[in-house]
């Protein structure tokens, strides 16, 4: 069965960076992309970007350009999201999701979420 | 960015009711529209893709329609497990989500 397991909660200071991992299993990793979506406390969903596990191509939402990196490791079936220069409003639950592209982008399996807290 | 606006923002209903949630796009997104359900403390779950296609395993009481800028999600015969927050998402361009509709028990 398809599963996405994310790394544990992180506490970071403003200006620091965070790297969240997402370990996929139960499917051929390179056949799909991985998208990252975040959710601030009590707020809605915010799409951050995605990476193709096949080509490594990425696409990011405008607001994260310049401080967001996404990578994959096909040998382990893992995806990584790194956000730099953290601010307090980056405090959120960060989700990875398997991305398919049938009739547009669909996020059909999700990780459990990783809480990132940014506080001095 | 394409803005997605859901209405209502919250909704109270009873078990067995039929409810409809609307999602409006700020420009034409053809049929590149998905619906997700999120229960408290859980990750979102894909319900509908391509505006009207039911994701595998999703009960048939969920249905959706629309194209262009106006879309609807309908739940016919609400069940206790359906009380959750629902989000639409467009993927015609850089994906964006609606602000969510919280469905509560009356």
The pLDDT score that the predictor gives to residue B47 is 98
The pLDDT score that the predictor gives to residue A103 is 86
Among A103, A111, A113, A115, the residue to mutate for chain B (most B Cβ within 10 A): A103
A5 at interface of B, judged by CB pairs closer than 8 A = no
Is residue B69 predicted with pLDDT exceeding 90? Answer: yes
Q: Which among A99, A100, A105 has a CA at the least distance from the CA of B94?
A: A105
Q: Which among A25, A4, A2 has a CA at the least distance from the CA of B56?
A: A2
Among B43, B86, B100, the residue to mutate for chain A (most A Cβ within 10 A): B43
Where does the pLDDT of residue A73 fall: very low under 50, low under 70, confident under 90, or very high at 90 and above? Answer: very high
The pLDDT score that the predictor gives to residue A53 is 96
Is residue B30 predicted with pLDDT exceeding 90? Answer: yes
C-alpha A50/C-alpha A104 separation (Å) is 13
Running DSSP on this structure, what letter comes out for residue B55? Answer: P
Q: Are A21 and A6 in contact (CB under 8 A)?
A: yes
Percent of chain B residues past pLDDT 70, beyond the cut = 100
Give me chain A's average pLDDT, please: 97
Using CA atoms in the order A111, A35, B22, B58, what is the torsion angle rounded to 10 degrees? -50
The pLDDT score that the predictor gives to residue B45 is 98
> Which residue shows structure tokens 């609400």?
B78
Q: Are B85 and B38 in contact (CB under 8 A)?
A: yes
Where does the pLDDT of residue A102 fall: very low under 50, low under 70, confident under 90, or very high at 90 and above? Answer: confident
Q: Are A82 and A68 in contact (CB under 8 A)?
A: yes
Return the structure tokens found at B71: 């879309």
* 3-state secondary structure (DSSP) of residue A63: helix
Is residue B16 predicted with pLDDT exceeding 90? Answer: yes
Number of Cβ atoms within 10 Å of the Cβ of B27: 11
Give the mean pLDDT of A30-38. 97
Give the mean pLDDT of A48-56. 97
Q: How many residues would you count in chain A?
A: 120
Cβ under 8 Å to A: B residues 6-65: 31-34, 36, 38, 43-46, 49-51, 53, 55
Is the preceding peptide bond at A53 cis, omega within 30 degrees of 0? no
Give me chain B's average pLDDT, please: 97
| Strand-pair category, A10-12 with A114-118 | parallel
C-alpha A45/C-alpha A65 separation (Å) is 18
B102 at interface of A, judged by CB pairs closer than 8 A = no
A44 at interface of B, judged by CB pairs closer than 8 A = yes
The pLDDT score that the predictor gives to residue A100 is 95
Handedness of CA B22, A110, A60, A83 (dihedral sign): positive
């Amino acid at each position: 069965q398809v599963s996405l397991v994310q790394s544990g909660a992180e506490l970071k200071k403003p200006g620091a960076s965070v790297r969240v991992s997402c370990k996929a299993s139960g499917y051929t990793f390179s056949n799909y992309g991985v998208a990252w979506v975040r959710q601030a406390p009590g707020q809605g969903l915010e799409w951050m970007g995605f990476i193709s596990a096949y080509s490594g191509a990425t696409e990011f939402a405008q607001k994260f350009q310049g401080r967001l990196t996404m990578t994959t490791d096909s040998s382990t079936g893992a995806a990584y999201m790194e956000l730099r220069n953290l601010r307090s409003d980056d405090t959120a639950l960060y989700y990875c999701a398997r991305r398919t592209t049938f009739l547009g982008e669909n996020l059909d399996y999700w990780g459990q979420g990783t809480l990132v807290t940014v506080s001095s | 960015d394409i803005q997605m606006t859901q209405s209502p923002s919250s909704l109270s209903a009873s078990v067995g009711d039929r409810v409809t949630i609307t999602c409006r796009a700020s420009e034409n997104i053809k049929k590149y529209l998905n619906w997700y359900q999120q229960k408290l403390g859980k990750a979102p779950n894909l319900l509908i893709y391509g505006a009207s296609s039911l994701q595998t395993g999703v009960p048939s009481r969920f249905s959706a329609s629309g194209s262009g800028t106006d879309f609807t999600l309908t739940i016919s015969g609400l069940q206790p497990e359906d009380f959750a927050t629902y989000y639409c998402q467009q993927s015609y361009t850089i994906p964006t989500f609606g602000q969510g509709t919280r469905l509560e028990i009356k």
